[in-house]
């Protein structure tokens, strides 16, 4: 007799096929967006790596792994040292990118310098393999963020270190594709290839990412601000005034705003993409190359904005791989209103190491 889960899987496959709902791989392939064979192969390997990471994050053994601090040399109180799962995730993605044969260089939050992989690979990939990993022990959502650039052929004859770095420091305006994978109650892969932002939910019964949110549009206005407001007293006057104004319903949108803050960038951004509002970190904390740029690309492709509080994130030329900056992502009208307060970047950061 067929098992219930087998029955469920078959029924779901029939429903998806009957409704013509494509999987990620169908969607990007020749019958869909047709993003090109090289990018399809790369995406196949990235999504495969992220399914492995999703399984690890949800594993009953992930916290046991976390206790082996000898693996990383990190003392438990050392807030910014990579946790073991960050490292495992990094290795999983590196191996997937190598296996794809499509990547010349990978630049990751977990590595001091970019890793040169294969001079023939058509793409450079920047990534944060597991953001928010300090949340894992409490089963709070985490995420992988990635950005994909074309390799710059004019650098091919440069020394390896130099071409690895310069390929990784391309302006966000040159992104070919970007995405994130949210590991939460559902595992969601959200990506853009330069024609809209689309999200796919992992169907655990078939192992496919299924298109669940085609052509996402961020509402032009949200009613939510997302920030760590324990730092209120370190904020500049402009940011204090903006938050005080919208939470009293005295802003351009005459409704009282609500606060939501998960403290996990991918999760806070995902909610903002769907519901609108602003996800922000006003201090110099988040990274331009592999956090702010990919997420700003997704925000813009969904009709929203990514700003450092003064200007467009994608137009900032990176000068260092691990460069940090204030980040404001979300609804167009909310970001415009916030920027009109002028002074919204937190310059001081007393009491916090990073
Ligand atoms: O401490 P803050 O300012 O609230 O910053 C929280 C942010 O830091 C992050 O945890 C990333 O920081 P790490 O790279 O140090 O893990 C984000 O996921 C989150 O949005």
CATH at 297 = 3.40.190.80
- Does the residue 89 lie in any domain? yes
Q: Mark whether 90 and 196 lie in a shared domain.
A: yes
Alpha-carbon gap, residue 217 to 228, rounded angstroms: 25
Nearest-CA neighbor of 192 among 278, 107, 299, 96?
Answer: 299
- Same-domain status, 66 and 196: yes
Quick check: is 156 catalytic?
no
pTM: 0.91
Which residue CA neighbors atom 15 of ligand 1 most closely?
A: 80
Concatenating the DSSP letter of every residue in 106-139 gives EEETTSSS-EE--TT-SEEEEEEEEETGGGGGGT
Q: Are residues 195 and 292 in the same domain?
A: no
Does 348 fall in a domain?
no
- The domain in which residue 326 lies consists of 224-339
Query: Does residue 352 fall inside a structural domain?
Result: no
Which of 179, 213, 247 is where one domain is finished?
213
Instruction: Clarify whether 137 is annotated catalytic.
Output: no
Per-residue pLDDT tens digits for 185-223: 999 999 999 999 999 999 999 999 999 999 999 999 999
Same domain, 283 and 170: no
**Residue labelled with tokens 């702010």:** 292
The answer as to whether 350 is a domain residue is no
Q: Is residue 347 part of a domain?
A: no
Instruction: Please report the pLDDT score of residue 134 as a whole number.
Output: 84
Residue in 80, 112, 154, 353 annotated catalytic: 80
Identify whether 39 is a catalytic site residue. Answer: no
Domain assignment present for 346: no
* Residues 6+ positions from 149 with CB-CB distance below 8 Å: 123, 124, 125, 126, 167, 170, 174, 175, 176
ipTM above 0.85 for this complex: yes
Boundary (domain end) residue, out of 213, 238, 271: 213
Q: 92 lies in a domain?
A: yes
| Separation of CA 304 from chain center | 15
Cβ partners under 8 Å of residue 50, min gap 6? 144, 181, 187, 189
Where is 20: in which H helix or E strand?
none
Pairing mode of beta strands 278-287, 224-226: parallel
Active-site residue flag, 334 = no
Place of tokens 């002028």: 342
User: Which residues face 183 on adjacent strands?
Assistant: 142, 187
The owner of tokens 């110099």 is 284
Q: Is 110 a catalytic residue?
A: yes
45 and 164, same structural domain?
yes
Q: CA distances (Å), 154 to each of 157, 315, 318, in order?
A: 7, 22, 19
DSSP string, 260-315: ---S-HHHHHHHHHHH-SEEEEEEEEEEIIIIIHHHHHHHHHTT-EEESSSSBGGG
Let me know whether 247 and 121 are in one domain.
Answer: no
Catalytic residue among 39, 42, 97, 128: 128
Are 139 and 234 members of one domain? no
Residue 176 DSSP symbol: S
* Catalytically annotated residue among 38, 65, 71, 110: 110
- Residue 209 φ then ψ, to 5°: -85, 120
> So what's the pLDDT on residue 62?
74
Closest atom of ligand 1 to 132 CA is 18
- Residue 24 and residue 135 in one domain: yes
Total number of domains in the chain = 2
Instruction: Give the integer Cα–Cα distance in Å for 327 and 288.
Output: 9
pLDDT tens for each residue of the chain, 354 residues long = 445 544 444 545 444 554 679 999 999 999 889 999 999 999 999 999 999 999 999 988 776 665 555 454 555 455 545 458 999 999 999 999 999 999 999 999 999 999 999 999 999 999 999 999 888 889 999 999 999 999 999 999 999 999 999 999 999 999 999 999 999 999 999 999 999 999 999 999 999 999 999 999 999 999 999 999 999 999 999 999 999 999 999 999 999 999 999 999 999 999 999 999 999 999 999 999 999 999 999 999 999 999 999 999 999 999 999 999 999 999 999 999 999 999 999 988 777 766
State the Cα angle at 214 between 12 and 298, rounded to 5°.
130
**CA of 285 relative to ligand 1 center, distance in Å:** 7
CA-to-CA distance for 47 and 180, rounded, in angstroms? Answer: 10
The finding on whether 318 has its CB within 6 A of some atom of ligand 1 is no
What pLDDT score was predicted for residue 265?
Answer: 98
Indicate if ligand 1 lies below 6 Å from the C-beta of 150: no
Which of 213, 238, 264 is the C-terminal boundary of a domain? 213
pLDDT computed for residue 16 by the predictor: 56
**pLDDT at residue 175, as a whole number:** 98
pLDDT at 67: 53
Structure tokens at 86: 């960050």
- Tell me, what's the pLDDT at 298? 98
For residues 311, 313, 318, 320, the Cα torsion angle rounded to the nearest 10 degrees is: 100
User: From edge to edge, which strands make up the β-sheet containing 324-330?
Assistant: 258-259, 224-226, 278-287, 324-330, 305-307
**What pLDDT shows up at residue 136?**
87
């Amino acid at each position: 007799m067929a098992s219930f889960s087998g029955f469920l899987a078959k029924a779901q496959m029939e429903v998806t096929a009957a409704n013509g709902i494509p999987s990620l791989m169908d969607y990007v392939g020749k019958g869909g967006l047709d993003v090109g064979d090289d990018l399809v192969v790369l995406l196949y390997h990235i999504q495969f790596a992220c399914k492995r990471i999703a399984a690890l994050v949800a594993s009953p053994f992930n916290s046991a792994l976390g206790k082996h601090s000898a693996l990383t040399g990190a003392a438990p109180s050392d807030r910014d040292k990579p946790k073991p799962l960050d490292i495992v995730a990094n290795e999983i993605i590196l191996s997937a990118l190598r296996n794809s044969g499509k990547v010349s260089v990978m630049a990751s939050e977990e590595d001091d310098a970019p890793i040169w992989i294969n001079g023939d690979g058509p793409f450079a990939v920047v990534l944060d393999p597991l953001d928010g990993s300090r949340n894992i022990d409490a089963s709070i959502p985490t995420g992988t963020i990635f950005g994909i650039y074309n390799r710059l052929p004019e650098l091919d004859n440069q020394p390896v270190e130099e071409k690895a770095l310069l390929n990784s420091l391309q302006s966000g305006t040159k992104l070919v594709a970007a995405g994130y994978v949210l590991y939460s109650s559902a595992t969601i892969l959200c990506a853009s290839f330069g024609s809209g932002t689309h999200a796919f939910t992992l169907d655990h019964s078939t192992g496919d990412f299924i298109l669940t949110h085609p052509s996402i549009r961020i509402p032009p206005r949200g009613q939510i601000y997302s920030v760590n407001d324990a730092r209120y007293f370190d904020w500049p006057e402009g940011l204090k005034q903006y938050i005080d104004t919208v939470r009293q319903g005295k802003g351009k949108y005459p409704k009282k705003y609500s606060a939501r803050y998960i403290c996990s960038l991918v999760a806070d951004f995902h909610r903002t993409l769907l519901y609108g509002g602003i996800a922000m970190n006003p201090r110099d904390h988040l990274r331009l190359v592999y956090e702010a740029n990919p997420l700003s690309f997704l925000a813009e492709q969904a009709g929203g904005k990514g700003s450092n509080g003064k200007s467009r994130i994608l137009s900032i030329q990176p000068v260092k791989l691990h460069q940090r900056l204030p980040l404001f992502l979300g609804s167009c009208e909310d970001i415009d209103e916030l920027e009109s307060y002028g002074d919204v970047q937190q310059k001081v950061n007393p009491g916090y190491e990073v």
